Amino acid sequence: MGYESVILEKKGHVGILSLNRPPANAVNMGVREDVSKALDEIENDKEIRVVIITGAGPKGFSAGFDVSDVGNINNGPNGAELWTRIARFSKPCIAAINGFALGGGCELSLACHFRLMSDAPKAKIGLTELNLGIIPGWGGTQRLTRTVGRAKALDMILFSKRLTGAEAEEIGLVDRVCPADTLMDEALKMAEEIAQRPPLAVSAVLNAITAGLDKGIDEGLRVEQEGIAKVQTSKDAMEGFTAFLEKRKPEFKGE
């Protein structure tokens, strides 16, 4: 499938989705449409087990919502719903933050399950919407608070702070800071390690954790039990037990 505003590549079991709208990868209606279509393609591709989301070009991940496209804010896929789809995606999503991730770009990274960030001097992350007299509207108020706590979230949002990778790692906003020239290698290594895990079980874990966060522990426990019922009779479970008894590395097929 062809795209105008994103690039979708496959490396083994890893899908790499790059926002591709230079110079700042700002998110307009076209980007939202392409991301939505790419997620459809990734979801339906059984070979892709893990997704890396990053920004094309030398400047960064994404500058967020394109204010020049405000006339289309209510057209095309809804940004908040699209980022929530990523947060609830059945395949792990890793944000490789290769530069600035501001506003909606920061919110996109927050929707991902893991965040790796470049240590480049110009790499900054933050929710800067209040500078425009608006507030984060694509899940930022909720996901940032869940990630770093209320006080730090308020401090970042109310003062429109832009954090370096080291500062973001210190408060738990990103999981790891990497040298700029090895960021994608680190993200790929992480993705490939996850891709070797049993896909059905990985998906079941994601679904259970998401249900608990979104709807409370009772719902999370219910979805957990659904996951157990699904995976315990799978071929992957049989392979896992067999490999353990035979003292070898399992080869999971997602079946």
129, 170, 193, 239: the catalytic one is: 129
Q: Among this protein's residues, is 251 annotated catalytic?
A: no
Residues 107, 192, 219, 246: which is the catalytic one? Answer: 107
Q: What is the pLDDT along the chain (255 residues), one digit of tens a residue?
A: 689 999 999 999 999 999 999 999 999 999 999 999 999 999 999 999 999 999 998 789 999 999 888 887 888 899 999 999 999 999 999 999 999 999 999 999 999 999 999 999 999 999 999 999 999 999 999 999 999 999 999 999 999 999 999 999 999 999 999 999 999 999 999 999 999 999 999 999 999 999 999 999 999 999 999 999 999 999 999 989 999 999 999 999 988
CA-to-CA separations, 73 to 28, 65, 138, 246, in angstroms, rounded: 8, 9, 12, 57
139 and 33 share one domain: yes
Q: Is residue 253 part of a domain?
A: no
User: What domain count does the chain have?
Assistant: 2
Does the pTM of the predicted model rise above 0.75? yes
Domain termination site, one of 159, 180, 195: 195
Domain that holds residue 49: 6-195
In a domain, 176, yes or no: yes
- The residues, ordered by sequence, that sit 6+ positions from 3 with a Cβ below 8 Å of its Cβ are 20, 34, 37, 38
Is 47 marked active-site? Answer: no
